[in-house]
Amino acid sequence: MRLLLFFFLGAMWFSAQGQKTITGTVTEEGGQPLPGVSVVILGTTTGVASDFDGNYAIQAAEGDVLQFSYIGYLQQDITVGAASTIDVVLAEDTQLLEEVVVIGYGTSSKKRLTSAVASVKGEAIDSQPVARVDQALQGRAAGVEVTSNSGAPGSAATIRIRGNSSINGNNNPLFVIDGFIVGTDFNLNNININDIESLEVLKDASALAIYGTRGASGVILITTKSGKSLPVGKPTFSVNSFVSMDQMANRIEILGGQDYVDYVNEAGQFVPGTPIDVNGTPVAIGFTDPNLPLQFEGEIPTTDWIDEVSTTGFIYNTDLSVTGRAENVNYYSSINYFNQEGLLKNSGLERVTFRTNLDFDVSDRFKLGTRLNYSTFRRENNKVNFSGIVSNVLPVRTVFDDEGNFTGTNPISGTLQRNPVADYQLRVDHELVNNLIINTYAEYELFKDFKLKTSFGATFNNFKRNEYQPGALPERILNNNIGGYGRIRTTLRKDLLSETTFTYDKEFGDHSLNVLGGFSAQKITSETTNQEAEGFPNDVVEFNNLALGSDPETYQVGSGYNQRTLTSILGRITYGYKDRYILSLVGRQDGSSVFEEGNKYAFFPSASVAWNIDEEAFLADSNTINRLKVRGSYGLVGEQGVDPYNSFDLFDPEFNYFNENLVPAVILDTPGSRGLTWETTKQLDLGLEVGLFNNRVSFEAGYYKRTTEDLLLFRDISNVAGNRVLENVGSVENRGFEFLLDTRNIDNENFSWNTTFTLTSNDSEVLDLGDEEFINIQSTGNQGGPSARLIPGEAFPIFFGAEYLGTYKDPQEIIDDQAVRAFLGSPRYRDVNEDGVINELDYSVIGSPQPDFFGGLRNNFSWKGINLDVFFQYSFGAEIFNIVTQRSLFGRGDENVDPRVLDRWREGIDETSDIPRAGTSTSLFNPNSTANIEDGSFVRLRTVTLSYDIPLKKARLDGIFKGLNIYVTGQNLWLISDFTLGDPEVNNFTSGSTNNEFGGVSQGFAAGTYPYARSIVTGVKLDF
């Protein structure tokens, strides 16, 4: 490793030569010495830094120009004369002290910003034990909702910026890494968190319109570290290394042991029928027949399947980086090694990333630079169907049968079922990814204040997934599949982007003007292959040689090609007067290949204004109000909403058999959709920024209203005509407030305490669905009808179901309801139309996965180098639809039950319980209902980090290190939640999941996901 380090740093070593020694002291205006000031002889690579007392010594010749620079201070150039002592006083750079924010195609001072941008600094997130930056963003930025989907290593989180704005299209934000648009489905596993300098979340139309059709769901700009803002000098080497121990948190409880056996036996002896006469009407009330055989007798072994498949996870992470700046070049280069073993056995992620960022000043006017990121990782996919374990791998099933073979069936239903232990031991399933992002730019100052920049970038992503199911898997044996099954899938993705922009940046008198213009063209192609073979006589070669699958008839091959192109013209004008009044106009015209001729182009304009009231005379001398700004913006952004090739009537390739002979076939399945165009989001944004008491209290508040129109919807059509078509109909609205409060509660030399609090409240509403009264987006029940729906006037989306009234406790209730297949102790629902049947005509809105408000609270305490960072994440008011409730609480006999059934309705024992009796599956128990709905509110102590900057002088390490920090982080230590099925952060359907086109908006469904970890991280950071 060390060799490698020297290899890529070797080129960046510089040395100095001189004629005489100049010494001096650098101080700031108050007379305090300034350590670490860069002193460089202009035009050379010779440079030193001032020491702790501000003293420096450098070899220079008369006539040389010494450049003194230090971040936050104005640079000074002094020509060496006869004197050999040069003391320098550096003035604070008030302009620079003003925070700089990265925006699309440029940067802006916070003061001149007219749009809503949330900023997260890299150091706030870089010690978390996760592979992906999205998992570290939770609760950090106002207006950004991040929900974990799974605890599996390297799995994506769902990010929603100001709510969902598209139904079938994309709601994931657009990721832009150092100016290169990597798209909305970029695999964030390719980026090392430690490389990230800052993340900016663009939220309002003014910030987003510059990304036109790709901005509707927000944009996240990732800026990686560079040596740009460093003083000229020797490089700094940094090491950040941590180890994390992960335990399963918030384990799902499943009824096991004798309790379960009793439940099943009780169900087995239950007879639903037996009419009795009440008021002359025959009613089946149900009874227990003790003569019926018991399902289980005697000693029944029970298995804890979650124990069987889970283990202690760990993460080992090391970052090595070097950064620095010489006269004409600055650089940042890093290597990251990340290795995670997941909580479920045989799942994990092992990754190496390399990054090199370089900027050259070829001349005063000409700059060149490059950003290069290469990552290679292997993701060991989870082999175990965890939600299967939760729902139907029974405790009464053993891992092995009497002969020592893996069991392969559900002992009650007899259905073939995977064996979770066999799964993790025998299955092979992993992904290999190589990803290269390279982006090169050249910038030339054509004339004063007018710069031309052209950049060319490319992303190459090479994905391969290997799977192998050996013949020894019980389901293969029981299915009489001879031998093993192997499958290989590959995707080659190529993304080319060319952008040329000019900027004109001019200050004249009280006026400032910033003009941006440019054009861009992007082409994204992906090529996929799929190969499968079966009948491997032995399991040695696995997927490595599919030709060894002995059964040629089971060879399956497939390939695909997909292409998308975009061209754009973009522009932005920002005008400011005395920094008080700022106006910005933004526009982008996009052309996209996915629409038909005539519909390919769209224009997205926006306008925004800001008023810095603190710059007004009446506030100029205020000691209370340091910053007061109001801003507003309005504009349009777009979303393409659809995949390519939607307008074609396409045949699906199929097969058929005639007398055992395989023949190919085609079927026209889904007709093409004609005349489609963009989804457009109209967005209003109002913001207030306040800084009080020397900026010790800073407060930002925002209000937004986003209306998305021309939604591209798959509309169900009569089955006479087909299944469904896409149409531009409908609109949705998101309204919300965002708050950010940042306070320095205590701030003195020895002790400081900072608090950051974010709160977001988003209200969504479906305004219009065209001719549709509703759209069903999920049907999770067995025969239970829709469970999530979009309905105009309601939130986006809502859960849908019947009202659960508890159990039938009196035969008269059954008579009154004219209930079919009901009995005492069976579930009772409100039969709204009183037809005796509970179906979707009786359903109504029963909840919504939308939280009322959510956010985070961060407290940071610092005392003499000891830093304690405590971060809470919270979410209130969201509901969760627990998919397994119908089976786990109402029982189905061959599926797992929840420990809550211990309090069930029991004949002669507890006839008041509202948890249905054992044997309920013989009743009408499938409707989706309020019984499925649970409160998803939670408060989570997400991270606690305790770190210590070792005082180098005291430890006499200052000759070796520039910084040495050790830290301990606890992740997900504590959770308050009433949810019964494990962790309340759930998302059973994600946009990527198979055949699930509404995955992107079907949030809040739980079926038992890969469990989340509670982690203890210990790490060290050192700079030298």
Partner 1 sequence: MKNKILLVTVFTALFLFSGCEKFLEEDLRDQIATDNFYNNDQEAFLATNGLYRILHRGTLYRTRGLDNYLVNGADVVGPSRNVNGNIHNYLIAEGVADGNGTWGALYELVRNASLSIANIDGNEALSEGVRNQTLGECYFMRALAYFHLTNLWGDVPYFRELLPLEELGALERSPRAQIRTDMKADLALAFDLLPSQPDLGRASKWAAAALKAKFHLYDGEWADAKAECDNIIDNSPHRLLDDFAAVFDQTDPANQYNDEQIFVVDFTTDGVFGDSNTSRTDDYNPRLRDEPSNRNDRPDGGTLTRWELLLADLQVINQDMTGFGWAVPLPELADRANWDPDDLRYDVTIVSEYLGYELSFPYFRKNWNLNNTSPRSNHNENYVIFRLADIYLMAAEAENELNGPSAAYIYVNRVRERAFEPDKPWSGLSQEEFRLALYDERKFELCAEGGRRMDLIRWGILLETVRNVEHRPWNNPGDNIQPFHVLLPIPQNELLLNPNLLNTDPTNNGYR
Which positions from 710 through 739 interact with partner 1, judged by CB under 8 A?
A: 716-723, 725
Q: Which amino acid is at 52?
A: F
544, 656, 782, 818: which one binds partner 1 (CB under 8 A) = 656
Three-state DSSP class for residue 269: coil
The reply to whether 648 sits near partner 1 by the rule CB under 8 A is yes
Q: How far is the CB of 898 from partner 1 (least distance, A)?
A: 24
- Closer residue to partner 1, CB minimum distance, 510 or 649: 649
Which backbone phi and psi does 905 adopt, to 5 degrees? -65, 130
Going by C-alpha positions, the residue among 216, 204, 112, 201 that lies closest to residue 634 is 204
Give the three-class secondary structure for 851. coil
CB of 776 to partner 1, least distance (A): 10
- Rounded CA separation 788/849 (Å): 10
Question: Which 264-303 positions form the footprint of partner 1 (CB under 8 A)?
Answer: 272-273, 293
Q: Which is nearer to partner 1, 464 or 600 (CB)?
A: 600
- Shortest spacing between CB 837 and partner 1, in angstroms: 6
CB hemisphere CA count around 797 (13 angstroms): 26
Maximum pairwise Cα distance, the chain: 121
Q: Are 251 and 630 in contact (CB under 8 A)?
A: no
Phi-psi region of 330 (alpha: psi -120 to 50; beta: other; left: phi over 0): beta
Region 799-828 residues binding partner 1, contact defined as CB under 8 A: 820-821
How many CB atoms sit inside 10 A of residue 90's CB?
Answer: 20
- Of residues 294 and 613, the one with the C-beta less far from partner 1: 294
683 close to 639: Cβ distance less than 8 angstroms = no
What 3-state class would DSSP assign to 261?
helix
**What is residue 516's three-state secondary structure?**
strand
> For the window 674-713, what string marks contact with partner 1 as x by the rule CB under 8 A?
----------------------------------------
Q: Which of 835, 826, 933 is nearest to 890 (CA)?
A: 826
645 contributes a contact to partner 1 by CB under 8 A: yes
72-111: which residues touch partner 1 (CB under 8 A)? none
Least distance from partner 1 to the Cβ atom of residue 858, Å: 46
Tell me: does residue 565 bind partner 1 (CB under 8 A): yes
Q: Which stretch binds partner 1 (CB under 8 A): 225-233, 838-846, 881-889, 908-916?
A: 838-846
Q: Look at residue 440 and give its three-state secondary structure.
A: strand
In this chain, which of 835, 903, 910, 978 binds partner 1, going by CB under 8 A?
A: 835
Q: Which residue lies nearer to partner 1 by CB, 35 or 272?
A: 272
Q: Does 994 bind partner 1 (CB under 8 A)?
A: no
Going by C-beta distance under 8 Å and a sequence separation of 6 or more, which residues neighbour residue 251?
A: 306, 982, 1011
Binding mask 351-390 for partner 1 (x = CB under 8 A): ----------------------------------------
Judged by CB under 8 A, the chain residues 29 through 58 that form the site for partner 1 are: none
Residues in the interface with partner 1 (CB under 8 A) total 81
Of residues 930, 1022, 1016, 1011, the one with CA closest to residue 253: 1011
791 lies in the binding site for partner 1 (CB under 8 A): no
Under the binding rule (CB under 8 A), the answer on residue 554 touching partner 1 is yes
Contact region with partner 1 (CB under 8 A), list: 37-45, 54-62, 591-599, 696-704: 591-599
Amino acid code (one letter) for 959: G
Single out the residue of 258, 415, 545, 745 in contact with partner 1 (rule: CB under 8 A). Answer: 415
The correct pick among 663, 912, 959, 994 for binding partner 1 (CB under 8 A) is 663
Q: How far is CA 895 from CA 133, 383, 884, in A?
A: 37, 21, 9
The answer to whether residue 557 forms part of the interface with partner 1 (CB under 8 A) is no
Residues 921-980 that bind partner 1 (CB under 8 A): 922
Q: How far apart are CA 132 and CA 150, in angstroms?
A: 13
Residue 44, classed as helix, strand or coil, is coil
> Binder to partner 1 among 538, 559, 745, 782 (CB under 8 A)?
559
Residue 807's contacts (CB-CB under 8 Å, 6 or more residues apart) are 824, 825, 826, 827, 828, 905, 913, 914, 915, 916, 917
- Candidate residues 657, 749, 953, 956; the one interacting with partner 1 per rule CB under 8 A: 657
Determine the Cα–Cα distance for residues 884 and 905; give it in Å rounded to an integer.
19
Quick one: 236 or 562, whose CB is closer to partner 1? 562
Binding pattern for the stretch 615-644 against partner 1, x by CB under 8 A and - elsewhere: -----------------------------x
Q: Which two tokens stand for residue 707?
A: 């209306």
Identify which of residues 86 and 802 has a Cβ nearer to partner 1 in the complex.
802
Which residues, 426 to 445, sit near partner 1 by CB under 8 A? 444
- Residue 663 neighbours by CB distance under 10 Å: 9
Minimum Å gap between C-beta 535 and partner 1 is 10
Nearest to 644 by CA among 589, 583, 565, 709: 565
Residue 545 as a binder of partner 1 (CB under 8 A): the answer is no
Q: Do 133 and 188 contact (CB within 8 A), yes or no? A: yes
Q: Are 878 and 947 in contact (CB under 8 A)?
A: no
- Restricted to residues 458-517, the positions that interact with partner 1 (CB under 8 A) are 478-481, 498, 500
Q: Which of 7, 447, 508, 618 binds partner 1 (CB under 8 A)?
A: 447
Residue 43 or 558 with smaller CB distance to partner 1: 558
Binding mask 734-773 for partner 1 (x = CB under 8 A): ---------------------------------------x
Select 15 or 659, whichever has its Cβ closest to partner 1. 659
Of 57 and 667, CB closest to partner 1: 667
At its nearest, how many Å lie between partner 1 and the CB of residue 810? 23
Binding test (CB under 8 A) with partner 1, winner from 97, 667, 955, 976: 667
Nearest to 129 by CA among 970, 1009, 861, 858: 970
